[in-house]
Structure 1
Amino acid sequence: MALINSETQSKKVDARQARLPLRQMITRSIVGPAKTGKRPRRSKRLGVYLLAVVGPTLVVSAYYAFIAAPIYVSEASFVVRMAAPPSSNVFGSLLQNSGITRSQDDTFSVQEYIRSRQALKELAERLPVRAIFGSPQADWLTRFPRLWENNSEEQLFNYYSNRVSVIHNDTTGITVLRTTAFHAQDAADMNTSLLALGGDLLDRLNNRARGDAVRFADGEVQQAQQRVIDAQRNITNFRNKELMIDPNASSMSMIDLISNLTSALANTRARLAETRKTAPDSNSIPFLTSQAAALEQQIESERAKMVGSDKSVAPRIADYESLVLLREFANKALVASLDALEAARADARRQQLYLEVVVPPQMPDEAEMPYALKNVTVVFLSLSLCYLLAWLMVTAIRDHESG
């Protein structure tokens, strides 16, 4: 009977333990059962906590207190602006701000350039980058190359990427450049040099754009000049082939000739009619008749020269006018291309892109990094959380095994 009561009481205790809330489980995992009195287990947990949490935190604190080298931060802000083309109306001129607008795409180009290997290469030509990053003032964990790194260009670029940051504000369009070094002067020099390299990049973009624009406009001028030359050559060949300088002028002379012949024919017919009426037997009648017939034949011949056959003047006039029209088009295209070339050269004489420094880099008077208190706090809280999660798992496993 006593055995049955003991088993029943044990099952009730297990059921109560199974219904323990999470807060009591956490308390038990840290403090232990209140009535067990097993100090060795509590001492063991305390030792683990000191070893896993307090010890590393003290090590990190000692590193930041006695070993970590001060790091200086230099900041500068800039914006990339583009010279806007002159407006063609008064309202556009009023809306423009001194003819300069913000260039978002070129700002991103400068940012990517500063983060690139090319920027590091050109920076190394101006400053002793390896000596700056490997300063004797730095500690062994932050000096380049670190213990787990080699002295390669790839490792240097990775280290450079951690020492230089570019932050862009989409709202204001201002970009902040931050450089860090173990000496205040080195941080300021790096910032100044990177800004200068960004300006050089924009100059190269300007020169390339100007060169492309002028080169394209000059090519258009040369093509237009060649079209004018070809058009004039075609007109010259036409004149040599047809043996006439201007078919229009030739047609006008032929029209005048036909007009004169028609007038002479009318006079001859009038005289013939009058002679037949006044002197039917006159000897001049055959002469006038033959003269009128000759005039009619001449008029028909001249008209045939103008129209009515492939050898007439009319088709030649059409061909000639087509050649003249092509020459006029070529001349107009040449004038337009010359204007475009002059505009391209005018644009080339003024800078298109500007790197405008809003806040110049300053030499810091005290170290901003490392963030010792912040880093120590993060380490302590992270290790404490890991310790808590580990003991929760251990407690859950023990309760499961005991159940």
Structure 2
Amino acid sequence: MLVAGVAYFGVIGRSRYQVTSDFIVRLPQAPNNVTPSLLGTVLAGPTMLGSLEDGRFLAVYLTSPEVMQRVFLRLEPETTYAKKGLDPFAGMPKDAPFDQKLAFFRRQVSVVPQDLTGVIQLTTTGLNPATAFELNRLLLNEAENFLNTSNQNISRNQQTFAEQELENARERLAKAQQALAAFNDSQGEINPEASAEATSRYIAGMEAKLVDLQVEEGRLRRQFLDPNAPEVAFVTDQIIELKQQIDEERAKLVGPDEKNLNQRLVKLRNLQTEVGFAEASVKAAQLAADNSRLESQRQLKFLVLLSNPETPSGQSLDWRWKGLLSLVGLLLVGWGVASFVLGISRRQ
């Protein structure tokens, strides 16, 4: 078995070629509390954590069936990854079903976010240098397109929500203003509040005059022994008439009918408060819409390529050494287990 493994990994196995590129996902403006690094703010703390999270998303997206259909199938894997020679493992079987193509594609792509730096390492494998390079380049384009599409969707959704809130606030303001105007029109007066204040002042004036008349009536009663004297009766009639007039004016302020000035004044102030609140809501919604545009710009993410993919000049030998060492380790484990079992059986 060891001889067969050496023969496969040393001679029979087809050459594999690997292309690696490194990139990071960053914001156009790092937070204010981020300490600059050697690369500006690219590898700083919060930005690094964001790139690490985006790298995990990209690891799933770049190996998804949609990307496989757009990228991998463009490389004509039936030809570029076809089985050839004596190697029974390398390559994709002819007329392979979709699931098998997807599994094979995922074995050729490795997306590894680096925990310490946030750098995302993209490694692609091909059976010839050109295929490995082209696959890496196409996947980088897919990663950049994915970020651009995500930016557009996030910005559009935020802006749509903010504009909808602004439109709702404007509609509320328009309804409040219409209700206030309709109320004023129904009252037939420009300013009910001023009317109520004028009525209150008028009543206060009549009450002051009533006090003066009552004082005068008392003086006349003391002066004339006959309570029905013309002078006393004249003042008494004035007092009765003034009291009646005061009661009528008070009824206009607090009476139960539709002419109640106090009730109209309360309704007026409620409508004015609603208009004021609606105006404040419009201002807040406008400010939120403006801030949403700025925040969308701050949240835009873009790909920073740290190392470009290059066409490999030679085959990758890592898989050969790893495969051979794994085989040797497996044989050693098997030999150890077999020796243990034989030792137990001999003791028995």
**Deviation readout 1:85-132 (Å, 9 max, x if unpaired):** 87xxxxxx3546569833143332111112222221221365444433
1:361 and 2:312 matched: no
How far 1:350 sits from its partner (Å)? 5.3
Residue 154 of structure 1 and its aligned partner are, at CA, apart by 0.9
SS at match of 2:7: helix
Paired residue total: 336
Contact between 1:83 and 1:101, CA under 8 Å: does it hold in 2?
no
Partner of 2:288: 340
One-letter amino acid matched to 2:247: E
SS at match of 1:297: helix
2:178 aligns to what?
A: 233
| CA distance in structure 1 between the aligned counterparts of 2:240 and 2:180, rounded to whole angstroms | 39
Give the direction of change, closer, same or farther, for the CA distance of 1:126–1:267 in structure 2 (3 Å limit): farther
Q: Is the 8 A contact 1:188 1:362 kept in 2?
A: yes
SS in 2 for 1:323: helix
State whether residues 27 and 298 of structure 2, in contact with CA within 8 Å, keep that contact through their aligned partners in structure 1: no
Structure 2 unmatched ranges of 5 or more: none
Aligned partner of 1:303 in structure 2 is 250
Amino-acid identity (%): 22
215 and 155 in structure 1: CA distance in 2 versus 1, 3 angstrom threshold: same
| Counterpart Cα distance in 1 of 2:329 and 2:56 | 38
Alignment CA distance shift 1:233-1:124 (3 Å): same
Question: 1:308/1:380 Cα in 2 relative to 1: closer, same or farther (>3 Å)?
Answer: closer
Cα deviation, residue 305, structure 1: 1.4
TM-superposition CA deviations, 1:325-352 (whole Å, max 9, x none): 1221121112111111122223345552
- Partner in structure 2 of residue 6 of structure 1: none
Cα shift readout 1:238-272 (whole Å, capped 9, x = no counterpart): 33444444321210221233344456556767888
Question: Is the Cα contact below 8 Å between 1:123 and 1:129 reproduced in 2?
Answer: no
Give, in whole Å, the separation in 2 of the partners of 1:374 and 1:94: 44
Partner amino acid for 2:173? Answer: V
After superposition, residues 232-271 of structure 1 pair within 5 angstroms as: 232-262=177-207
Which of 65, 69, 80 aligns to 2:25? It is 80
Q: Which of 41, 47, 59 pairs up with 1:101? A: 47
Q: Does residue 79 of structure 2 align to residue 134 of structure 1?
A: no
Hey, what's the Cα distance between the residues in 2 that align with 1:95 and 1:387?
55
Structure-2 change in CA distance of 1:260 and 1:395 (3 Å)? closer
For 1:380 and 1:270, the matched residues in 2 are separated by 126
Provide the rounded CA distance (Å) in 2 between the counterparts of 1:177 and 1:151.
Answer: 26
- Say if 1:269 and 1:292, in contact at 8 Å, map to a contact too: yes
2:69 aligned with 1:121: yes
CA RMSD of aligned residues (A): 3.8
User: What TM-score, normalized to structure 2?
Assistant: 0.79
- Given candidates 107, 117, 138, the residue that maps to 1:193 is 138
Query: Which of these two proteins has the greater Rg computed from alpha carbons?
Result: 1
Q: What is the TM-score when the length of structure 1 is the normalising length?
A: 0.69
Against the structure 1 CA distance between its residues 68 and 370, is the aligned structure 2 distance closer, same or farther, given a 3 Å change threshold?
A: farther
- How far did residue 222 of structure 1 move? 2.2
**Alpha-carbon contact 2:14-2:90 (below 8 Å) kept:** no
Q: Which of the residues 312, 327, 348 maps onto 1:379? A: 327
